Structure 1
């Protein structure tokens, strides 16, 4: 009996031990399951965070792609505009001058609603300007004397009513250079390379006026308010109809004319003209120098020459430049500032010749700016990094998110997974080989590609 009881006790003890061991194993398995559940939840959270980050990046890339498409379109427009401007200039030099159209006074009164204040768009030194539509053409009407001069960067005279001294000019959609430099109505800033070009355009128009035959013409009221910009930001000088025609019998070195009444705007008037009453082409050069300094700084003209001169001498010109214009090239911009200061010298004899010195320098700087603009445009057309497959190093055709949270081209990652179970980016084992299509990124890539065409 004792042996039987002892045997049963041993069996019971063995069963208890087996039961305890089985329970311990189940406890360990339960802990492992809990750990895996926590890891799975953490991985899900990480995947969600990655998805949100990718979503934000895609939205940003989409915005960048839209901007890049717009910039490419602007570059194409600029190239077309330059070709047209060259054609216009050739026509001016080689072809006959176009005659202006004559309008009846009643047409102008009707088009301006009897010169309604609601159609008033500005006031020059010699008359009020009204916006209207004449013969299905948007135009600007101004009461002043007539002008028959034509140049790509002089405001085009569409027609006139001679009996009432009323002029009809082309309408310039982007208003005056002054308004754009001051960013009136929160308009976008003018990029620095366009400002280089505008300086050259204004100088070329002034050279044309100063060398007109049979008599040279002086503008006498050059300023940013009288420089207008069309829809492509091509600049044209206005108020030319009031320019002073000089006697061609004057000195070949410097053409001077006695003026009996003050004409012009404070801060742009030639100091020697104020002192002596003698007007010359150099008077326009002084005003042009002030315009250059305003193109660089977008600051009021009063005391501007002195401020820029000190900044150049102290090596602080960069602090004075208009930061809204972008990343100015320091050396070339310094050259332009020095050129503006030379033009704005107090004495006529210290100012450079516009045709022989100023215009060639501006031509060189304009060509530099054009190259910089084209290089920037080409760089902006490169695909964003987010569009590139880490395996192919090329734009993805079918982007998919792998288990490591990174996006790859589907064909490239499928070939990779056939040979390797590790992530191409982290070199860590992939939990699985599932691929999730990234439709948002695909849409952005397709939109970017369509913008390139």
Structure 2
């Protein structure tokens, strides 16, 4: 049995919730409700007894009320009191109701606490309403029974009161008194019934409000629980987002740290590059300063040399005209690059006179260049400058009886050169070039080496001529970078260095390319156009013997093939792939020259025996290794190197 108490809105104000908790039976569950919420709960300690205590309390109350108001003493007391202090009937009834309400408060309170024990579970909020209504109806039935008992008591009391009311007019009969008392009793009962009904309606309304409040509280609790679950899920999501953000932040910090390291490394690299650039700039500035200083010193040295140490003799125009018979066509032996060439005798010496063509500005430059170079150098493989007439642009060389190498190779002379002589000429040309490259204080690059500029004396000793296009290289460039940039390429097609022609970068290996083409012409006797490709194809196809000059008998194929391979290395398109003249090319050419000399000194019978085994080879490259003895050119090589 469950009892619901409202400590703030309870009708019976005579006892507090604590006194109710103390007075409630132990088989009742007591709920104390304050401000619409359950403040405390006391559960039932045992089950309710089978006999209803409410019924016994009501019967006991009726018996007490009946016996109390039916005694003669009570009647006399009320009669006396009415006589002493006459009051209206309504006031007497109100006073009696107040007295009886004190007695009924405990009974009604206990009735309300014993009300509907089986419905004391709070689940009635969500259950069907009829259960609550039935519980309320049982409660109201008990209350009605109690009211009936009190009604009878009040009737007796009212009757007693009426009976004791004084009458000062005339005495009444007992029937009249009884009828008056009955009417008063019925009126009092009606009033009490209305009060009870009003109390019941008010209690029903309060109970309904309490149930609604509890239902709202449960709904709020469910809503709060749902919100709590949503907040929990939101918290989990936010924690996950926070964790992801933390991981992303750590990754971003790590990436930023790596970027900082990269930036630091890049800055260090940039600083290092700047330092290296400054050092390189400083080094280049030093090299350029040194070059300018050396160039200035060289110009001064050349100027002093021209003024003080002229190794050629100056001739007047009259002397030259007399020797050439006024430049007679009968004495004309050829046409040079910038003018005709005449043969004559000066001081009882056969000479070749080269006359500058009138109006040629480039010829004047070449004339002055050749005069300055050949006038200051002497070498067995360089044409000797006998004299000159600078005012008229006339150069006088020693006369070369066998003409140029071009005349001998391409059949302008009846006598053909042997392969021994060709090996000699190749070594002599390389020796003359090395002399130019090692000239002090500045090296020289010929830039126009070709068979037409290689002259042969009466002993077929080759000498380099026409150095008018020769270029002085700065010493620092020649030693360190081996090349310098020219504004325009100069030379003859098919003999000029391809890299120099494309880039304008001039170096000592530009002459090495021209030397390679000349050596291939010495072997084949063919024009220079596409000659390197033809020889290379013949070697690959093992037909090298067929490309050799057919006018020369008994070619030593092994040595000729070795010389051809050297020439092909010299004719490489890239300068870096060409061999060095002093350390690689010239030593190999000297070995081949010594082999040719040794072969030339043997009797003809031994030469035939030696040539037969060599003719059996198909042309595989090999290098002869005969021990070379010092020759007349050896001291020159030692001097130049």
Which category describes the TM-score, using the shorter chain as reference length? Answer: 0.5 to 0.7
SS at match of 1:214: coil
For 2:562, the equivalent position in structure 1 comes to 335
Report the Cα distance in structure 1 between the residues aligned to 2:405 and 2:312, rounded to whole angstroms.
26
Report the Cα distance in structure 1 between the residues aligned to 2:604 and 2:441, rounded to whole angstroms.
44
Report the Cα distance in structure 1 between the residues aligned to 2:591 and 2:310, rounded to whole angstroms.
31
Shift of 1:305: 0.4
8 Å contact from structure 1 (residues 176, 225) kept in 2: yes
For 1:180, the equivalent position in structure 2 comes to 408
Rg (Cα) greater in structure? 2
Report the Cα distance in structure 2 between the residues aligned to 1:278 and 1:110, rounded to whole angstroms.
45
Q: What per-residue deviation string (whole Å, max 9, x for no partner) do you get for residues 87-123 of structure 1?
A: xxxxxxxxxx981122112211222233233322222
Is 1:243 the counterpart of 2:243? The answer is no
SS at match of 1:139: strand
Q: What per-residue deviation string (whole Å, max 9, x for no partner) do you get for residues 334-377 of structure 1?
A: 00000000001111111000111100000001011111111145
Report the Cα distance in structure 1 between the residues aligned to 2:428 and 2:333, rounded to whole angstroms.
24
Q: What per-residue deviation string (whole Å, max 9, x for no partner) do you get for residues 266-325 of structure 1?
A: 100100111011221111100000000000000000000000011111111110001212
For 1:99, the equivalent position in structure 2 comes to 311
Is 1:223 the counterpart of 2:435? The answer is no
How many residue pairs align between the two structures? 284
8 Å contact from structure 1 (residues 153, 202) kept in 2: yes
8 Å contact from structure 2 (residues 509, 578) kept in 1: yes
Q: Tell me: CA distance 1:98–1:233, structure 2 relative to 1, closer, same or farther (3 Å).
A: farther
Runs (5+) with no aligned partner, structure 1? 1-96, 381-453
Is 1:287 the counterpart of 2:533? The answer is no
8 Å contact from structure 2 (residues 569, 579) kept in 1: yes
SS at match of 1:240: coil
For 1:47, the equivalent position in structure 2 comes to none
Report the Cα distance in structure 2 between the residues aligned to 1:234 and 1:246, rounded to whole angstroms.
28
Listed as ranges, the matches of 1:35-434 within 5 Å are 99-142=311-354, 143=356, 144-145=367-368, 146=371, 147=374, 148-185=376-413, 187-250=414-477, 252-376=479-603
SS at match of 2:391: helix
Identify the structure with the greater helix proportion: 2
Report the Cα distance in structure 2 between the residues aligned to 1:211 and 1:251, rounded to whole angstroms.
9
Q: Which runs of 4+ in 1 moved over 6 A?
A: none
After alignment, is 241-250 or 310-319 more displaced?
A: 241-250
TM-score (norm: length of structure 1): 0.60
Report the Cα distance in structure 1 between the residues aligned to 2:531 and 2:394, rounded to whole angstroms.
36
SS at match of 1:236: strand
Q: What per-residue deviation string (whole Å, max 9, x for no partner) do you get for residues 122-173 of structure 1?
A: 2233332221111111101123230222110111111111222321001111
After alignment, is 221-230 or 141-150 more displaced?
A: 141-150
SS at match of 1:160: strand
Q: Tell me: CA distance 1:323–1:254, structure 2 relative to 1, closer, same or farther (3 Å).
A: farther
Runs (5+) with no aligned partner, structure 2? 1-308, 357-366, 608-641
Report the Cα distance in structure 2 between the residues aligned to 1:251 and 1:236, rounded to whole angstroms.
24
Aligned alpha-carbon RMSD (Å): 1.9
Shift of 1:378: 7.5
Report the Cα distance in structure 2 between the residues aligned to 1:123 and 1:150, rounded to whole angstroms.
25
Structure number with greater CO (CA < 8 Å, separation at least 6) is 1
Listed as ranges, the matches of 1:12-27 within 5 Å are none
SS at match of 2:440: coil
Shift of 1:260: 2.8
For 1:42, the equivalent position in structure 2 comes to none
